[in-house]
Copies of this chain bind each other. A is one copy, B any other.
Amino acid sequence: MVQMNPTVGDIAGNVRRITGWLREAKKAKADLVSFPELAITGYPPEDLLLKPCFVADNRRALQEIARHCRGLAAVVGYVSQSDGIDPKPARSSVVQAGAHELYNAAAVIADRTLVTTYCKWYLPNYGVFDESRYFHPGKRLPLIRLRGTVVGVNICEDVWLPDGPTGFLAAAGAEVIVNINASPFHLGKSRVREQMLATRARENGVLLTYTNAVGGQDELVFDGNSVILDHQGEVIARGKAFEEDFIVADLNMEPVARARRTGRKKLLPKRLASVVEVYAAPLPSVQKASARMVPAVASGLEQLEEVYLALTLGVRDYVRKNGFTRVMIGLSGGVDSALTAVIAVDALGAKNVEGLFMPSPYTSQDSYEDVAELGTRLAISVRTIPITTLFDHYRQTLAETFEGHEPDTTEENLQARIRGNLLMAFSNKFGHLVLTTGNKSEMSVGYATLYGDMAGGFAVIKDVPKTMVYDLSRLRNLRGATPVIPKRTLDRPPTAELRPNQKDEDSLPPYEILDPILQAYVEEDRSLEEIVEAGFDRATVARVMKMVDGSEYKRRQAPIGIKITHRALGKDRRMPITNGYRNS
């Protein structure tokens, strides 16, 4: 199994990576090697799929990959234009638009021949997924006879359903199911997934190989964690979490065959008999079985640790795949910017992270000290540019117009936007990517300044609730020899320092109350009544709901960030801005 990290759209680069791994597979004397879902295009290719030339390029890439499969079989994710063996694409790059029927497909190549293609049956079209926008569902159940073993192939979602292609392929005779994936991470998913895979292997009495992608793509992080399970659901080999990996295992088919002979035979539903197709994979007989075996190691990663790794990989890949090397972060002395900086350093190295501290008249001495201390501990360069003079000039410029009006959030936003402007000026002049530092609690209630602290290219902790920001910080502090985030940063009450003695709790409920309300409302679609019944104050819940509803326009203009929860504030959650619904 090749747990690879493709780049969306970079077909040529992905082909190079795939053919490189094919050489490794040959060295390891593999009979069969599997790559992730849509390995050729990267996942999700989104509206690139609407470009006929993109689809044609992807199909030509498959032909090229096939030429590298001498003496072994490979399962490769790509975009097919038919539910069957895809005819060879035209050589010309001028492709007729329209008549554009696409399938999310797995090509089975054996000894340079495209033997067959399996097309995904179940197309996820919820959460972050839009597969029905692009793909038609497959209807076939191809089986491949490979060195005497019957192999069935399917894709991602297909393995999640008890009454789906996995069971049908097994009932039709498959002894091994090769399932390929691009399954994005969210909190707790890897555990649920592995339980499901064990159930699926056991109930069908098949060996099950689960090949996942790894790496960051915009909002998504694919976590790897590929596994091979035997017919009793026991994990016999496992790939790394959040890293590329190449997993080799000898599959002992004897117990599967014995279980099949003695066990109760599964029956394929009659209506599906006609969609079963059997192919022979023409492999030369010189091939020998592998000599290497990756033992299954227990997944020792705690959930919080997984989140930290997802954030680190998400930052590293966004920066790298978009051609940046260095990032810049506005440091405030608070925990959000501190954690963001630490993640960035872990992702990119201290030399590629620069801090910018922009104190105002309301910045406390603690903040000055904590920023300096953080910079020292992380060994990153930190510039200081006070914004007091610029802030004064804005106020003078606006004095006449604003005469008779008390200072309000306008003046707070001015400060945040001066900082945004300075950060972007650095970015423009020196080519840094600006990382923003807002957490999910703030982003949910709109406690952030559009074009101010929200200005930047990538919002690292956008899906991390404030309470989890603290948990992650403490976790990271426990890791090294000395804590990286100053203790006071973790102990001080959160403040935006945009007016004298401001505290977050002046505007928001305490985060220990806010975060569970947000989880219920934003992630679980609970009604006011339900949240109140769970033990929260009605007025507080109503106020939080109103803040969430009223800040949709801000979120729509926010930079993208890394999904780590069941429902992130991005493609996962598609709310109208113009929205008259008030559930209170």
A-side residues, CB < 8 A to B, are 7-11, 13, 42, 44-48, 50-54, 57, 92-95, 97, 125-126, 130, 132-133, 216-218, 317-318, 321-322, 383, 385, 389-390, 393-394, 397-398, 401-402, 405, 408-410, 413-414, 417-418, 420-422, 424-426, 428-429, 450-451, 455, 457, 524-530, 533, 553, 556-560, 573-583
Known contacts A393-B389, A421-B418; A576 and B429 CB within 8 A of each other:
no
Q: Which residues of B are found within 8 Å of A45, using beta-carbon distances?
A: 576
Q: Which residues of B are found within 8 Å of A130, using beta-carbon distances?
A: 130, 133, 574
Contact B579 A527 (CB under 8 A): no
Q: Which residues of B are found within 8 Å of A321, using beta-carbon distances?
A: 578, 580
Closest to A418 in B: B421
Of B47, B418, B558, the contact of A573 (CB 8 Å cutoff): B47
Contact B525 A51 (CB under 8 A): yes
CB-CB nearest 4 A-B residue pairs: A10-B580, A9-B581, A53-B527, A410-B428
Known contacts A409-B428, A410-B425, A424-B417; A97 and B525 CB within 8 A of each other:
yes
Q: Which residues of B are found within 8 Å of A581, using beta-carbon distances?
A: 8-11, 48, 54, 57
Contact A451 B410 (CB under 8 A): no
Of B132, B420, B553, B573, the contact of A451 (CB 8 Å cutoff): B420
Q: In the assembly, how many copies of this chain are there?
A: 2
Q: Which residues of B are found within 8 Å of A53, using beta-carbon distances?
A: 527-529, 583
Q: Which residues of B are found within 8 Å of A95, using beta-carbon distances?
A: 527
Distance between Cα atoms of A556 and B458 in the complex (Å): 11
Output the least CB separation between A502 and chain B (Å): 16
Closest to A95 in B: B527
Contact A218 B576 (CB under 8 A): yes
Contact B413 A51 (CB under 8 A): no
Closest to A426 in B: B401
Of B8, B533, B557, the contact of A576 (CB 8 Å cutoff): B8
Of B401, B457, B525, B577, the contact of A218 (CB 8 Å cutoff): B577
Of B216, B410, B417, B553, the contact of A429 (CB 8 Å cutoff): B410
Known contacts A573-B47, A576-B218; A428 and B413 CB within 8 A of each other:
yes
Known contacts A413-B428, A576-B44; A583 and B322 CB within 8 A of each other:
no
Distance between Cα atoms of A11 and B425 in the complex (Å): 46
Contact A580 B455 (CB under 8 A): no
Distance between Cα atoms of A132 and B132 in the complex (Å): 7
Known: A132-B132, A393-B393, A424-B450. 17 other contacts (CB 8 A): A8-B578, A8-B580, A42-B580, A45-B576, A48-B581, A51-B525, A57-B583, A93-B528, A93-B529, A125-B133, A130-B133, A383-B401, A413-B425, A413-B428, A417-B424, A451-B455, A556-B560
Output the least CB separation between A330 and chain B (Å): 14
Contact B393 A525 (CB under 8 A): no
> What are 13 contact pairs spanning A and B, CB under 8 A?
A7-B580, A9-B578, A10-B580, A13-B580, A42-B580, A46-B574, A48-B575, A48-B579, A51-B583, A95-B527, A216-B578, A321-B580, A450-B455
Contact B418 A402 (CB under 8 A): no
Output the least CB separation between A580 and chain B (Å): 3
Distance between Cα atoms of A318 and B426 in the complex (Å): 35
Distance between Cα atoms of A457 and B422 in the complex (Å): 22
Known contacts A410-B425, A413-B425, A574-B130; A579 and B8 CB within 8 A of each other:
yes
Distance between Cα atoms of A139 and B219 in the complex (Å): 36
Output the least CB separation between A122 and chain B (Å): 13
Contact A425 B409 (CB under 8 A): no
Q: Which residues of B are found within 8 Å of A48, using beta-carbon distances?
A: 575-576, 579, 581
Known contacts A398-B422, A581-B10; A457 and B553 CB within 8 A of each other:
yes
Contact A94 B578 (CB under 8 A): no
Output the least CB separation between A250 and chain B (Å): 36
Closest to A321 in B: B578
Contact B557 A559 (CB under 8 A): yes
Distance between Cα atoms of A383 and B401 in the complex (Å): 9
Residue of A383, A421, A455 with most chain B CB atoms under a 10 A cut-off: A421
Output the least CB separation between A123 and chain B (Å): 9
Output the least CB separation between A579 and chain B (Å): 4
Q: Which residues of B are found within 8 Å of A93, using beta-carbon distances?
A: 527-529, 583
Contact B577 A322 (CB under 8 A): yes
Output the least CB separation between A135 and chain B (Å): 11
Closest to A430 in B: B405
Distance between Cα atoms of A426 and B422 in the complex (Å): 21
Distance between Cα atoms of A217 and B47 in the complex (Å): 23
Distance between Cα atoms of A533 and B93 in the complex (Å): 12
Contact B394 A408 (CB under 8 A): no
Known contacts A46-B574, A527-B51; A579 and B9 CB within 8 A of each other:
yes
Contact A576 B9 (CB under 8 A): yes
Q: Which residues of B are found within 8 Å of A529, using beta-carbon distances?
A: 53, 92-94
Q: Which residues of B are found within 8 Å of A393, using beta-carbon distances?
A: 389-390, 393
Distance between Cα atoms of A397 and B48 in the complex (Å): 43
